[in-house]
Chain A
Amino acid sequence: MIADPLLAISDLAIAFRTGHGVARVLDGVNLSVGRGRIMGLVGESGCGKTTLARAVLSVLAPNALIEGGTIHFGGLDLLALPRARLETEVKGRRITFVPQDPYGAFNPLFRVGDQMMEVMKWKSPRRQPYERGFGPLLTRFPRARYKTDREALIALLNEVQIPDPERALAKLPGAFSGGQRQRLLIAMALMTNPDLIIADEPTTALDVTIQAQILKLLKRLARERGVSILLTTHDLGTAYEICDEVTVMYAGQDVETAPVAAFFTHPRHPYTARLLESLPSPNREIKEIGGEVPSLLAPPQGCRFHPRCERASPECTASRPAKSGTGGHIVRCFHPLTMAAEVAP
């Protein structure tokens, strides 16, 4: 376990009311992100990684029910924090967000610079306490910090390698390619000097050569600025590239957490092992997992992977296995693979 983590989620359970019943989307999830570390949250679609990310950001949909658990962030209990403090201190300030779709994130009718400065107006780290309230809705940008804020923004654009930032700010979003927009969004996430950035599939919409550039950039910025990143992805290759630790989720449960090297060479949870085996590789035959992801409206009891697991025994159906493992490599399984079992990459 990490001593003094920046973000510590424990036993978080979230359900959604739907027209067909209650969907138990997160079932007792545990996750920690250390200061300045990059944590990868991997899993298949529908496993709850986006719900977890949204819970940390406090932007869950109105039909979400938080059924238990805590989210501690830098000494604050986010689920118990009064809404006003959450809004003024944490949301979009100490925790920021890089979305998946760089095309949908900007309003196509406003200049990029205006959209970014609008965020600065409200959330600049140089904002003074006397500016509180709804004043900025009605007034122009506070003159006292307009220049410094704009300079800070241009410095950030330089950092994310946008050519000619002065002129870039005067352009419409349509003038930028997907890769460049993703760079702008990363700059936008850094504007408030956050402690934690939540990046939800930041490279899924991009081509492979652009993806490599963006991942390289994210990794460098995290190292230089000491920002923690919680990166959700369904692409194990992305996780391998930039993460320090990886947590795997399956159908709303965290099944394994490990340092990146151990995760890919010595997976211990049967699901993780099968997931790695289903990656295409020229060196071995491709293997499928078999079966399908369960419906969260009526999930299996106990370990949710047991209907697809060849190691399952009656105790797997009875209760959820406790955490076990050493040295930051934690697995929640009654029958984990031994440390020696190696999966060919």
Chain B
Amino acid sequence: MTNLLTVEDLRVSFPTRSGTIEAVRGVSFTLGKERLGIVGESGSGKSQTGRAIMGLTPPHAKITAKTLNFAGVDLLTASAHSRRQMRGNRLAMILQDPKYSLNPVMTIGRQIVETLRTHQRISKADARARALAMLEAVQIREPERVFALYPYEVSGGMGQRAMIAMMLIADPELMIADEPTSALDVTVQLDVLRILDRLVAERGMGLIFISHDLRLVSSFCDRVIVMYAGKIVEELAAIDLPNAKHPYTQGLLNCMPTLGTDRHPLPVLQRQPEWAL
């Protein structure tokens, strides 16, 4: 299997007045046409890893890596212009909350068409037809009506589906989903995940699924990376999750209250300083 993405010793640091904050400290992994989950709590560097790959890290941050290679392109030396051409076209990202990530003053249809026409030479009528087909593919029942709506006129689940449609329309090779369902209701979460699952399988793209929910990630991905304090503490196949070795992974698995288990008080993570070394 050829690697779509190779990340070796990725470091992201933010200079601040009170010293440098290292958000990502030496992350290495490779990704083929598979689903990779990145799990960790707030501040573990999981989102910054995704953003560094997308090229969305704030300009004052410092990114270093031994290798950061996407399909033969060295992302570290690529110009801003070429990275911009890749974003949305070959690399796409779904963000957490459709309320903030969609443009509030543009109709959903126009935003999808804009993505397509930025990256491909295509007539307006064709772009519209593709956008409508894409909205249908994310199971929006009346694509014509939703096409003309503004983001505030649709529900969270519908907005997130529109977001998925927008990200998939240019047929990217790699999709990064950063907490794509955390802002949605549990019942809607499953619908959105099912759509994402089907489309990723049909189109054969690589997927990086970033989430704080270990169980959700393990049910959705082939492989899971667990991050703590900017480092990878454990990498394992999703089916091996019950046999996780690192105490942090075990702690994350145990601390969730679930239906049918009666544990009072809940086991709490005992953070060890050596995990962060």
Genuine A/B complex: no
